[in-house]
Structure 1
């Protein structure tokens, strides 16, 4: 009886040992597979590099001349730790345009193509959402500058200002641009909003000609992209998405000439929007030769310092003497 019981116990222990070995085998296999996956992801990211500043420039398939103008002007100088990408939606593009984009990609290696997005004013917000998701997944960066392909950016000055901001050691995330807090909700035209329900004004947002976000803000938008409500204007949407977050410095900067039309020419500007190909070339050559953007500073309309101490509807009173 004792021998039979011992044999039964031995079989039970052997069975348990076998189960443990099987579990250990599968656990180790799973661990190795996860390590391999992680290594592949890390390898992919490392191949792309790690950057202080990632610049994404919204462009369209046909805007070849604009991209060339940017490459030949404000992106012509290599800056350490800076990477740029032209963001293009290719859904619905003709065979001829696709062929050109393939050639352009081989030559410059600076296009990010969104194959499921058709470029139009109606898809700008979706374009930004997809762009943020892609670059957050594929690149390591500390800051992201989003701008349009009719913006001229002084990258060296931008980097200097980022270093100054970092040296302040605020411990906050950065949302940097030219802010508006009293833009009334559009009731007509191509930017008409049919389901804005929050208030009579849009929430404070940085104008879309160019704004900077620290990586964790891009991460927040990318990881929640499936549940974020989109509106006609991409910059207004970004302001709304980031509105609930508290640990942010919303840095209003009059050196960002990023409104729907340029305020003029000031040698203080870091970004200036609404530039044609010729004016971009002229301004950049002036800057390259003299360190100044303008042959003569001009002001088409006044600017303002954002007053964060008052309600948004009273934030932004234009005054003379501000760039």
Structure 2
């Protein structure tokens, strides 16, 4: 009987993993580009700009600054760069929030819509699973990049940075940090799972938000194991926890560190 339950539990875990991979293939409603570049080589990078329903002004600012539009966006794809705003769906599917995004996307054609993800602030750590899983299922690229929509970057220099690391596997790149775990409920950055970080309550080394870069094999790991990966209160901590047990190469890239400037964070890539 013991062996029966052990085998049953194993099979259930396998089925959950299979379902996760199957769902991931339908996460992106709009496959804006094909799986191979016009040159026949795989893409350099898929860059997802995280956005929310109430962040339209941020999207307009980015389109008017560093994100190419129209034909320029298509030319960027031809150079091996996929870039778009990443957003999930409303808890009330098909409501005005969803319709507004669909209307905006019909005009701009620059969204990567995660159909199976419920867009909410508290769901951001899970959004990482959906984004990296769906991106690696949809596009064959060397790197998968998450960027927040409240920062500005120099896209040319970011691409040059990625080019300089091309061919390196297991790259986990960004502005590395660690710090205190906030265990007092009600405080900013509170971590409900604080007790898991030991008596010293100190976070492990990880790439800090708002810009996270993973090489293909690390994104594939998230895709394959997403059903069993633990999420914490913060997305960057969650991604960092997934990297700990892997033979990942930590690349502390100070050019990707951000400084506060009013309400926006400005990334200076030099």
TM over 0.5: same fold? yes
- TM-superposition CA deviations, 1:170-229 (whole Å, max 9, x none): x54211111013x11111325322224133211111111112111111111111110011
- TM-superposition CA deviations, 1:250-279 (whole Å, max 9, x none): 111221123xxx256xxxxxxxx9637xxx
Query: Match of 2:90?
Result: 91
SS in structure 2 of the partner of residue 224 of structure 1: helix
Shift in Å, 1:74: 0.7
SS in structure 1 of the partner of residue 264 of structure 2: coil
Describe how 1:41-120 pairs up with structure 2 within 5 A: 47-49=34-36, 50-76=42-68, 78=73, 79=76, 80-92=79-91, 95-120=95-120
Q: Distance in 2 between matches of 1:164 and 1:136?
A: 21
Shift in Å, 1:232: 0.5
Q: Given the superposition, is the C-alpha separation of residues 46 and 122 from structure 1 closer, same or farther in structure 2, using an over 3 Å criterion?
A: closer
Higher mean C-alpha deviation, range 201-210 or range 91-100: 91-100
Query: Match of 2:125?
Result: 125
Report if aligned partners of 1:58, 1:87 keep a CA contact under 8 Å in 2.
yes
Q: Distance in 2 between matches of 1:243 and 1:173?
A: 12
Describe how 1:120-199 pairs up with structure 2 within 5 A: 120-166=120-166, 171-181=168-178, 183-188=179-184, 189-196=187-194, 197-199=196-198
Q: Given the superposition, is the C-alpha separation of residues 45 and 98 from structure 1 closer, same or farther in structure 2, using an over 3 Å criterion?
A: closer
Shift in Å, 1:118: 3.3
Query: Match of 1:319?
Result: none
Shift in Å, 1:242: 0.4
Q: Distance in 2 between matches of 1:66 and 1:46?
A: 24
Task: Tell which structure's C-alpha radius of gyration is larger.
Answer: 1
Report if aligned partners of 1:66, 1:149 keep a CA contact under 8 Å in 2.
yes
SS in structure 2 of the partner of residue 67 of structure 1: helix
- TM-superposition CA deviations, 1:137-188 (whole Å, max 9, x none): 112211111110011121211222222233xx6x54211111013x111113
Which fold has the larger relative contact order, with Cα–Cα distance below 8 Å and residues 6 or more apart in sequence? 2
Q: Distance in 2 between matches of 1:185 and 1:146?
A: 23
Q: Which runs of 5+ in 2 are unaligned?
A: 1-25, 37-41
Give the number of equivalent residue pairs.
222
Report if aligned partners of 1:257, 1:263 keep a CA contact under 8 Å in 2.
no
SS in structure 2 of the partner of residue 66 of structure 1: helix
Higher mean C-alpha deviation, range 58-67 or range 157-166: 157-166
Q: Which runs of 5+ in 1 are unaligned?
A: 1-40, 265-272, 284-292, 294-322
Higher mean C-alpha deviation, range 137-146 or range 99-108: 99-108
Q: Distance in 1 between matches of 2:66 and 2:47?
A: 12
Report if aligned partners of 1:88, 1:111 keep a CA contact under 8 Å in 2.
yes
Q: Distance in 2 between matches of 1:219 and 1:178?
A: 22
Report if aligned partners of 2:169, 2:217 keep a CA contact under 8 Å in 1.
no
Shift in Å, 1:54: 0.7
Shift in Å, 1:46: 7.5
TM-score scaled by structure 2?
0.73
Shift in Å, 1:90: 1.8
